[in-house]
Amino acid sequence: LTPMIELSRRQDGSNDTTAFAHDVAEGLSQRQKTLPSRYFYDGAGSKLFQQIMTLPEYYLTRCEQEVLQENKEAMVRQFSQGGLFHLIDLGAGDAFKTKILLSELSEQQSAFDYVPVDISGDAMQELSESLQKELPQVKVEAVVGEYFQALKWLQENKAERKVVLFLGSNIGNFETAESIGFLRSIRSYLQPGDQLLMGVDLRKNPDVILKAYDDAAGVTAAFNLNLLHRINRELDADFDVNQFCHHAIYNPLEGVMRSFLVSKSEQEVHIRKAGLTVHFDAWEALQTENSYKYNIPQIDELGKECGFEIETVFYDSQKRFADVLFKV
């Protein structure tokens, strides 16, 4: 079996459920209630996200797939220039898109190993197994944990050159200040000669963006509502999920898609493992996700503020999405 590193246990000995309970209690105790979007991805949530990626409205995945497919030769050439490297895939999920690069890397006989990182242990288990079957020549070491834990582990355990992948517009989930903090932190683990390939969803017709987060089949709604099911399952809570609805809005000034769960009635919810009773007013909103959209000058500036220089910008044919290759 392929090795898998589990970093999920906290340093202080507390477990994942304790951390989840803490974050849920913190988010739901605020005057404007929020829940961190990273908790979407339990087993059920990861399955729903995989379904989202196939929706006709969710252009992001198909566009990025096109970017990678059409530019894989150039990308792999640029990765491989400095010789041996670790390919670190932050938020790898099912690595559906990364596999395009992995097969091209194999084709060009690049000297690398593949280190997918994800918070979903289930996803990393499945990915390790599928790669074993599909690309048995690729050396894989999956890491289960949050981004920062994983980066620290990598610095301590992987000394060679690094090419970091941060695909799928995952950067979009961060507020501006958080993206700066995140990219600076990545940068602090890298050295001259290392690279970062980052997927960004570009600004475009707001109607196109809005539909991507409010699909006709209701898969995104189910994905959002699964967060409440997860709290019920893992934190012994009693959310009446039918009493909440999905609502998504796009702000073209800020370039941000915001997703909410709205309480359809006044209600009280008990979250036993968080030691918390939460009151919702009728039509009170709980914010669950931000998805920021960028243009290239903003990305250039963001990179520069964090110690990265753009090497190449790769686009899809409609310029809806870009994969930006940075060098340190």
Least CB distance from residue 168 to ligand AVJ, whole Å? 5
Q: Which is nearer to ligand AVJ, 57 or 104 (CB)?
A: 57
Quote the least distance from Cβ 264 to ligand AVJ, whole Å: 21
Q: How far is CA 301 from CA 164, 247, 305, in A?
A: 19, 32, 6
In terms of CB distance, is 112 or 321 closer to ligand AVJ?
Answer: 321
CA 145, 58, 298 angle in degrees (round to 5)?
70
Q: Which is nearer to ligand AVJ, 315 or 321 (CB)?
A: 321
For 328, the token pair is 């340190």
Residues 8 and 259 sit within 8 Å (Cβ to Cβ): no
Judged by the rule CB under 6 A, the positions of this chain that interact with ligand AVJ are 52, 60, 168-170, 172-173, 213, 220, 223, 289, 291
Strand (E) or helix (H) holding 24: helix 16-29
Which pair of structure tokens corresponds to residue 199?
Answer: 């997927």
Residue 295 in tokens: 């243009």
Query: Shortest gap between Cβ of 171 and ligand AVJ (angstroms)?
Result: 8
d(CA 175, CA 289): 10
Mapped onto helix, strand or coil, the DSSP state of residue 13 is coil
Min dist CB 142 to ligand AVJ, Å, is 18
Of 48 and 138, nearer to ligand AVJ (C-beta) is 48
Which residue's CB is nearer to ligand AVJ, number 132 or number 176? Answer: 176
CB of 268 to ligand AVJ, least distance (A): 28
Cα angle for residues 167, 173, 174 (degrees, 5° grid): 105
Taking the complex as a whole, the smallest distance from the CB of residue 40 to ligand AVJ amounts, in Å, to 7
User: Torsions phi, psi of 251, nearest 5?
Assistant: -105, 105
With CB atoms as reference, the residue minimizing the distance to ligand AVJ is 291
With contact defined as beta carbons under 8 Å apart, do 248 and 260 qualify? yes
The residue among 1 and 177 lying less far from ligand AVJ, judged by its C-beta, is: 177
Enumerate the β-bridge partners of residue 198: 166, 324
Phi-psi region of 316 (alpha: psi -120 to 50; beta: other; left: phi over 0): beta
> Which residue lies nearer to ligand AVJ by CB, 110 or 220?
220
Least Å from the CB of residue 179 to ligand AVJ: 13
Q: Which amino acid is at 216?
A: A
